[in-house]
Amino acid sequence: MDADVSDSPGTPAEPDRPDHPAGGGPADGSQDTPGAAPQDDASAGGSGADGSAGGTTDGTWGERPRQGPPGRPRPWLRWTALAASFLVLVAAGVGWWLYNKLDGNITTDTSAAAELKAYEKERPRPTARGARNILLIGSDTRSGDNSRYGRDDGGSQRSDTTILLHLAADRRSATAMSVPRDLMAEIPSCHTGGGKATKEQFAQFNSAFELGGTACTIRTVEKMTGVRIDHHMVIDFNGFKDMVDAVDGVEVCLKEPVDDADAHLKLPAGRQKLDGEKALGYVRARKSIGNGSDTERMDRQQKFLGALVNKMQSNGVLLNPTRLYPVLDAATKSLTTDPGLDSLRDLYDLVRGMRNVPTEKVQFLTVPRREYRADPNRDELVQPDADRLFAQLRKDELVAVVPADEIKSGDSQPDHSSGNDTAGRKSGDTGASPTPAPTYSGSNAADDLCGS
């Protein structure tokens, strides 16, 4: 074989580039070397008929417009952001200050909690899960700012008004039951402020507060009703006045003019709006309005509280922070509570749970009672009416109340109403009623004090 014709391999032709000869170079003899500079746009994209660059390219990098860095924010935007941040900080600071102010207004009653804990085994157990029973006590102290309303007998005090507020577990109803201060009750052995133990006694109900304070009053109510008291609040005169002023007064109607020097009250007859000072005299007056009985005074207190609740809900006070704050400030300044309600958050949760209760389901009544046989100036419970009412509260059953005149006219069950004795019923009298549950004399927050 000829030496010039060898079997050694040569440089093969590239099958994918048929326009290149077997030597691997371009047809014009130039080399495709790596790293070579790119062709200009005219040769890469072709030329037009006039010799200008053709194709779809945007020109060379040098011909493209410079983008530059993003533009700076305008000065007014920066100032707006700073102002908004400052306002948020100020609002947060003011809110925190207001919260702490209201929170600090509340006085905690730790002594009552300790006393109740010592008698825990004697106290009734809760029977309705989720329901709440709160004892509201109106303090009758004449010390300090309250001295203008009467004589201060060495700092002693009695409960002027006591109301057991039952909040249903579903928070769709509330029942406020008044306990007359002149009601004869079994008062258990309690401890005085000095730690001395008192004897069990059958005495006027409001003397329990004088003997052993809040704890003794709570234990007396629990012994009487079998209802477990979850929380308590003690409010003095000034707290009530300020709350009425915070909602810009409450309207009432008087059939006759009132002139009561002891209650600091002088009012004409007819419809009128009472401020806090006049409202306090109105709910405390006894001998100058109506028949002068404590029974009528309690009914007047219940209706006034109902009107106060109605105004707070109808005017949107509970949903308006700017209007709610004065009410909370007034309430907390003169409020003493147990440790479970001694913070603004606890009170807010309580109010929030009540704000959806329809006003017609906020009901007021007094324990069934009658004139005490041994003393016409005192009251005693009517049985079995009272025990039936207490059982309804324990079981979280809805309590039905109607005006007293409807009770007397026979529209409801007279044997279950307040102030009616079942001993006089005739044999065979079934006491039929259109209502499925016992009905009691009372009112609700939707009632108009002027009857219109």
Q: What is the pLDDT along the chain (452 residues), one digit of tens a residue?
A: 444 444 444 444 444 444 444 444 444 444 444 444 444 444 444 444 444 444 444 545 445 555 545 556 567 777 777 777 767 766 666 566 566 777 778 889 989 999 999 999 999 998 888 999 999 998 765 444 544 544 444 444 556 789 999 999 999 999 999 999 899 999 999 988 788 899 999 999 999 999 999 999 999 999 999 999 999 999 887 778 888 988 889 988 888 888 888 777 888 988 889 999 999 888 888 767 766 667 778 888 888 888 888 888 777 777 777 777 888 788 788 889 999 988 878 887 887 778 788 888 899 999 999 999 999 889 999 999 999 999 999 999 989 888 877 765 443 333 334 333 333 333 334 344 443 456 788 888 887 767 65
H helices of 337-442, in order, are: 344-354, 385-394, 404-408
Residue 355 near residue 319, CB atoms below 8 Å: yes
Residue 211 near residue 187, CB atoms below 8 Å: yes
Find the farthest-apart pair of alpha carbons in the chain and give their distance in angstroms, rounded: 154
Nearest to 443 by CA among 407, 411, 416, 392: 407
What is the pLDDT at residue 451? Answer: 63
DSSP 13: P
Residue 249 near residue 279, CB atoms below 8 Å: yes
Residue 356 near residue 250, CB atoms below 8 Å: no
- How distant, in Å, are the alpha carbons of 151, 162, 163, 205, 210 from that of 156? 10, 17, 21, 15, 6
Place of tokens 């303090």: 139
Return the structure tokens found at 203: 């005495």
- Provide the 3-class DSSP secondary structure of residue 302: helix
Question: Would you give the distance in Å from CA 302 to the centre of its chain?
Answer: 20
Return the structure tokens found at 226: 């079998």
What is the pLDDT at residue 330? Answer: 82
The order of strands in the sheet holding 335-337 is: 107-108, 335-337, 231-235, 132-139, 159-167, 174-179, 362-366, 439-444, 400-402
DSSP 255: S
Tell whether the torsion through CA atoms of 23, 26, 31 and 35 is positive or negative.
Answer: negative
Return the structure tokens found at 14: 């590239």
Residue 258 near residue 285, CB atoms below 8 Å: yes
Tell me how far apart the alpha carbons of residues 78 and 76 are, in angstroms, rounded to a whole number.
Answer: 5
pTM of the shown model: 0.69
